[in-house]
Structure formats: C-alpha cells, structure tokens
Amino acid sequence: MTSAYHQIEDTTTPSTWYALDPLWQGGAATVQRGLSHHQLAPAWQILLLGDGSPTRHLQLLTRERTEVDVIDMSAIGLDFDGAPDLIRRVPGPRLRRQVWLRTASGQRLAYATSWWEASHVDDYLQNRSLPIWASLARLRTELYRDIQGIYYGHSRPLAVAFGQQGPFWGRHYLFWHDGKPLTLIYEVFSPYLSRYLGPTQIDSADV
C-alpha cells in the first residue's frame, strides 16, 4: 500500500496534544474482556480492541489510500507530556509526533499522537511522513501491539478537526519490538467511520 504526505494549512503546530476529556475509560483488563455491545458495537470493538493495523483497517473500510498530515514533531526531553503512564516505558529523551489520518480525498478519519525515544526514531521512521504501519512494514519490523487503555470522551479541537460531534472513542497502546517498548501511541477515531462500521452502540433491545 502506498501512502502520501501533505502538510496541512488550516491547523497550526499544536503546543500540546489532543487528549480526550473522558466520560468513561477502561484499562487493560477491560480491553482483554471486551465491552458489552450496547456500550460499544462489535465492529467498533474490532477496530479499537483488536491488535491489527488501524491504517490498514481504514484503507479496507474506505477503499481509499490512507494519507498522513503531520502536524507536530516536538522534542519533549524527559517530560511525561501529560501522556498515559506507560510513557515511562519509552526511554528518554523523547520525541512526540502528531498526525491526522485521512482518505486521499481529504476526509479525516483519526488522530494519533506517538512518543518515541528521540535517538532511535529515525531508525524506524525513516520517512517520517508515512503512517507508522507503512514505515515499519517497509522495514519488516516484527511488532506486538499491546493495547492498554480505551476512552470515551470529548475534545473540542478534535470535534472541529473532524467536523463531527463527540463523544469520541480512543485508545492507547505500546508497540513492542525485540522484547522492548518501541513507542507509545494514543489514537482517537472519528464518528464518520459509522458509515462503514455502523453505529458505535447497539440498543440493548437488539442484543
């Protein structure tokens, strides 16, 4: 799969990253157990709680190439950056990368922030404008996606960027490589995906 990079013009470089203000959140035990279908529909659980590549999933859903708009590449040193506690597993000094994932026709589908050990980021993101999945696939890097948290909440910046009202679903996870944490990733998905996945919730009467 090919991907393309475009520097967006309507979003200034953020000084921080866009975390959800959660109405509800769950940890690793919730991720392993899964949610009831009236809380999160099965198709959405596959996207959020499965260990497959979201970039690949988005391409399969939309039948369009997934493109990346990089909006931030910031050296944050040893700062924990308000990230999930698992950032402590990523050696410092660190670099934070923020992107929009969108279709080739311009529809934003997801937002992602990732934190990397700054001295090694170029080893894995040789082309920093590619989706992480595409970069690591080119290197034939063997990975384990360890999903540790799921969120349901609001974000005004993401509502504006997606052109969609919240609440939004998000998650965070570690990528492991050779038994060591490679990067921490926080992702939020647009409700626009409901046109492919169906509603995020199933009425309890239908379950």
CA–CA gap between residue 27 and residue 21 (Å, rounded): 16
CATH number of residue 152's parent domain: 3.40.1410.10
Give the span between the Cα atoms of 169 and 151, in whole angstroms: 6
DSSP-derived letter for residue 5 is B
**Is residue 5 assigned to a domain?**
no
Residue 7 lies in a domain: no
Q: Does 61 fall in a domain?
A: yes
Q: What tokens appear for 89 in the block?
A: 């597993």
DSSP code of residue 1: -
Structural domains counted in the chain = 1
Provide the domain limits for residue 105.
21-206
8 is a domain residue? no
Q: Which of 2-11, 83-92, 168-177 has the lowest mean pLDDT?
A: 2-11
Query: What is the pLDDT, as a whole number, of residue 128?
Result: 53
∠ CA 25-59-40 to the nearest 5 degrees? Answer: 25
CA 50-190-116 angle, 5° bins: 60
Q: Which tens digit of pLDDT belongs to each residue from 25-80? A: 999 999 999 999 999 999 999 999 988 888 889 999 999 988 889 899 899 999 99
Is residue 148 in a domain?
Answer: yes
Task: Give how far the C-alpha of residue 36 lies from the chain's centroid of Cα atoms, to the nearest Å.
Answer: 22
Tokens of 86: 């698992």
Bridge-based pairing of strands 94-103 and 108-117 is antiparallel
pLDDT-derived band of residue 139, with 50, 70 and 90 as boundaries?
Answer: very low
Which of 28, 63, 29, 34 is closest to 46 using CA atoms? 34
State the average pLDDT over residues 81-88: 95
Distances (CA, A) of 98 to 13, 113, 178: 9, 4, 25
Question: Is 135 contained in some domain?
Answer: yes
The residue-averaged pLDDT of 156-184 equals 91
Q: pTM of this prediction?
A: 0.84
Catalogue the E-assigned strands of the chain.
21-26, 66-77, 94-103, 108-117, 144-154, 168-177, 180-189
